[in-house]
């Protein structure tokens, strides 16, 4: 991935040098031309690697999912605080993850901890179960499904 990005930047700067134009539009044209060249030559390899823009798109998607979940949970927690009567049902539930590496489980745990209203309390020794505390559990299965379809799926797209 890093080598592909480096080659793409090299092509963009070469394009700027050939055209003797240091503007952003010249860089963008060279960058887009580099994407096309890299896609063309990627197919000539016996076992092509995944194209680096796919992984960058997955990272951007994970960041946007986190920002969305962060914003929603902030408003939910604020709503719980501003209500005159505190009507929450805090609880702990076990979350079975399909993530395999320690890095993936750590990232999921950190994203859960950074989202207001949830906290990862513990991870099992084998790294497959996370114990999560939530400020308001209406249905644990709904929360499990939400984590699985948002964070876990996006993490798998980034790392695999």
> Which residue numbers in the chain have pLDDT < 70?
1, 48
Q: What is the DSSP string of 13-68?
A: HHHHHHHT--SHHHHHHHHHHHHHHHHHHHTTSSSPPPPHHHHHHHHHHHHHHHHH
> Under a CB-based contact definition with an 8 Å cutoff, are residues 133 and 118 in contact?
yes
pTM more than 0.85: no
Q: What is the pLDDT of residues 60-93, one digit of tens each?
A: 999 999 999 999 999 999 998 898 888 889 999 9
pLDDT of residue 83: 86
pLDDT computed for residue 48 by the predictor: 65
- Residue 56: what pLDDT? 87
H or E element in which residue 94 lies: strand 91-96
Report percent pLDDT > 70 for the chain.
Answer: 98
Please report, for the chain, the start and end positions of each structural domain, with discontinuous segments joined by +.
Answer: 2-42, 53-159
The secondary structure of 110-151 as a DSSP string is: HHHHHSTTEEEEEE-TTS-EEEEEES--S-HHHHHHHHIIII
Tokens of residue 25, six digits = 């539009």
Structural contact between residues 105 and 122, judged by C-beta atoms closer than 8 angstroms:
no
Closest CA to 37 of 63, 65, 4: 4
Q: What dihedral do alpha carbons 115, 103, 38, 11 form, nearest 10°?
A: 80
Q: C-alpha distances in angstroms, 133 versus 11, 17, 107?
A: 49, 56, 17
**What is the model's pLDDT at position 39?**
86
């Amino acid at each position: 991935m890093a080598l592909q990005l480096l080659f793409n930047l090299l092509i963009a700067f070469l394009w700027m040098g050939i055209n003797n134009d240091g503007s952003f539009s010249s860089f963008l044209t060279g960058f887009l031309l580099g994407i096309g060249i890299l896609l063309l030559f990627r197919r000539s390899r016996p076992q092509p690697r995944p194209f680096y823009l796919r992984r960058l798109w997955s990272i951007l998607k994970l960041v946007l999912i986190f920002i969305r979940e962060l914003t929603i949970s902030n408003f939910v927690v604020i709503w719980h605080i501003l209500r005159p009567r505190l009507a929450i049902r805090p609880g702990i539930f076990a979350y079975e993850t399909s993530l395999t590496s320690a890095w993936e489980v750590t990232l999921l745990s950190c994203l859960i901890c950074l989202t207001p209203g949830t906290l990862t309390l513990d991870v099992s020794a084998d790294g497959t179960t996370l114990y999560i505390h939530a400020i308001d559990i209406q249905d644990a299965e709904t929360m499990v499904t939400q984590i699985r379809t948002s964070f876990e799926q996006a993490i798998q797209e980034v790392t695999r």
